Structures are given as C-alpha cells and as structure tokens.
Chain A
C-alpha cells in the first residue's frame, strides 16, 4: 500500500495509465469547454495583446478582460502550474538551467519554427494533431503525417548538430 502511494506521488506512472487518464481529461475539457483542448491559439492571443501594449504590433482587438475570461488561458496556466505541482509533490522541484549554448540556440530556433508552423496549420500537437484526429477531421490525419515527416527531418538535424 505504501509502495503504491509512493509510485503515485513520485511517479513515473506507466505510459498507458497516463494515456487513459489524459484521454478522460481531454473528453472532460471538450464537455466543459464545448470546444477541444488547444494550446497555441491562446498563447498567440496573449502575444498580440502584449505586443500591442509594447507598441510593437498593431491592435487586433484583444483586451485584458477578454483574455482573462478566455478558457484557453486557464488551460495553459493550469498545465504549467499542474506540472510544477507534480514536481513539488514528489520533492523534485529545482531550477534546471541551460548548460550549453547550443541548446539555447536550438530551443530558440525550434520554438520559432514550432510557433510559426502551429499557427499556419491552425493548431499544435494537441489542437490540430490529437484533437484534429479525435474530431475525425481529414486535416488532422494529414497534419499528423506532416508532423511525423517533420520529426524525422528534425531528428536528422539533431543528430548532425546537437549530438
């Protein structure tokens, strides 16, 4: 009993356990939100708002109140806090700095590519791939194939430049 509790608290949980619980939560998000779980669109809206306030971007009509009452904000914030809490519960919280300059560059380039790609394809791994396929949309399947080929290309770069 104590051992089971230890595993629950410290992890790692088996992948399939994670898959089943995530599947249930994904459905609950759809039921509560009347819209599937997505990540990047809300981030983009926040970026528009911040950019407008800094005077870098032209106004697209996003207001602070509008963003604070949008469900995507709470999903993203919750995701971040939930992950932090999960490490804290297991006493595994620590700051993990970048130890090598190449990772700084790869993270920056990777992030840029990812953000650009996600927004021209209407969604990220969750919004367009997982929930695109879950919505039985043909676009979701095609996006999945494209992401898989992209992953293969990315792996080539990773082996060549980062290893």
Chain B
C-alpha cells in the first residue's frame, strides 16, 4: 500500500498520462499514485482513462483550477 507521486506540474497533455501509465507498470496492486495538475483537460483525461481501465480514481479540486488526483491500482 505504498504511495507514489510523479511530477507532472506544468506538463502538457498527454505527457502526464503517458508518465502515469509507465509508472503504474512498476507499481503493485493496491498502491496509490498521486498526481497534481492545473490543466483541466489533463485531469479530465486521466479520470476518463482510469475509469475505462477500471482503476479507482478520486479527483478533488484543492485550489482554484488545481486538481489533485489519487489513482489506486486495483488490478494488474
């Protein structure tokens, strides 16, 4: 149940999602990946992608126009 963070601050679509995808490969089931972005489309894209992959995803707007995402790797 480890928590991982990757730095995607200020990165343009779709780089955050590709990075997240690669990071997930090295993670165990049940691990959590934490992401933070100020890009509305990036946040949305990751949520849609995670849902399509049946991962657990939580999206919260922590400040004006900043989204905090927590993705749980529920399966391999």
Contact = CB atoms under 8 A, between A and B. Distances in A.
B38 A162 contact: no
Contacts of A162: 12, 15
Given A12-B44, A87-B65, A91-B64, A96 B38 contact: yes
A159 interface: yes
A92 B64 contact: yes
Contact of A93 (B12, B14, B15, B64): B64
> Interface residues of B: mostly helix, strand, loop or mixed?
loop
Contacts of B12: 103, 106, 162
B65 A94 contact: yes
Given A159-B18, A163-B18, A100 B10 contact: yes
B4 interface: no
Nearest to B10: A99
In the complex, the 3 A-B pairs of residues with the closest C-beta atoms, listed nearest first: A99-B10, A92-B65, A94-B65
Nearest to B9: A99
26 contacts: A10-B61, A11-B40, A87-B40, A87-B65, A92-B40, A92-B61, A92-B64, A93-B64, A93-B65, A94-B38, A94-B64, A94-B66, A96-B38, A96-B39, A97-B10, A98-B10, A99-B9, A99-B10, A99-B11, A100-B10, A103-B12, A159-B18, A162-B12, A162-B15, A163-B15, A163-B19
Q: State which size class the interface on A falls in.
A: 10 to 19
Q: State which size class the interface on B falls in.
A: 10 to 19
A89 to B, nearest CB: 12
A46 B72 CA distance: 49
Interface in A134-163: 158-159, 162-163
Contacts of B39: 96
Contacts of A93: 64-65
A11 B67 CA distance: 13
Contacts of B11: 99-100
B37 to A, nearest CB: 10
Interface in B12-30: 12, 14-15, 18-19
A40 B11 CA distance: 26
Which among B38, B39, B66 has the highest number of chain A CB atoms within 10 Å? Answer: B38
